[in-house]
Structure formats: C-alpha cells, structure tokens
Amino acid sequence: MSSPASSFPAERKVRRWYHEPWPWLLISGPFVAVVASLTSAWMAVTSDDGVVAQDYYKQGITINQRLARMAPAAAPPGAKITVGERGEVRVHIEGLVERPKNVRLMLAHPATAARAEVVILESGADGDFVGAIAKQTPGRWIVTL
C-alpha cells in the first residue's frame, strides 16, 4: 500500500545554471584560449625584433667575394678497393697528405657484428696497400677503411 506522501515526487531545490560547476568548466577552456591568444598578440606588438643588419645584402655580397678569393679546398681522399679471386686485397688511395705504413680494412656483415673481419694492409712497392682476407663469402658487407 502506498501512502499519499510517497506517491508524489519530492520537491527539489532548483539551482540556477550559474550555481552549477559544469557550465563554468565548459566555459573555462575557450576563455583560457582567448586570454592566451590576446597575450601572444600583445607580446608580438610590444616587442621589436628589429633588423639584424641594415646592410644585409652588401654583407652577403662581401662574404661571397671572400669565399671566391679563398683557394678551393683539397679533394677528400678517395680509395679503390680490389679483391682478387684467391682473397688478395689491393687498395689504391688518392689524396693523402702523408702516406701511412699500413691501413686497417674491416669487413662487417650488416646482420651480425660477430662475422666482422679485420685485415691489416701493408704498403706495397707500387704505392698500393696489399693484404689478404681469409675467405670470400657472397653477400652485402660494410667496408671500413
């Protein structure tokens, strides 16, 4: 059996929208974005970056003229590596200022570093560096001279 008091909904206290927290939470995001953009605009207007140099074009021309007067840099050393059928390795290096007594050649497999082979090449009579590798296996190798 229901009583007349329980058959009617209880009266709720009605709160205005500005007393609820959710509208303020939703309004705060766009408000913060507007304040940040106005602050950025104020900083851009009030600060003066200025020109780095008044005669930047003339300075660029002067730099280009200085670079043209400088001697061209020496070409970097280049090497040609030849491997014979029996494993003999011959390396011809061009552009060295001082010629070393020997050169280290390292052959490494890209997949495993354990398969790396190091060969010391001695200076030959014809100016090339000569040595021998243990075995030749086909595939891709990383060559470091």
The dihedral through the CA atoms of 43, 48, 52, 54 has a sign that is positive
What's the mean pLDDT in 48-58?
82
Is this structure's pTM higher than 0.85? Answer: no
Q: Summarize the confidence of residues 16-30 as an average pLDDT.
A: 94
Q: Provide the pLDDT confidence category of residue 39 given band limits of 50, 70 and 90.
A: very high
Structure confidence by residue, pLDDT tens digits, 88-141: 889 988 877 788 888 998 888 887 766 788 888 998 878 889 988 887 777 788
Could you give the CA distance from residue 130 to residue 134 in angstroms, rounded to a whole number?
14
pLDDT at 34: 97
Kindly state the helix (H) or strand (E) to which residue 122 belongs, with its residue range.
Answer: strand 117-123
Q: How many percent of the chain have pLDDT more than 90?
A: 26
- How big is the chain by its Cα radius of gyration, in Å? 39
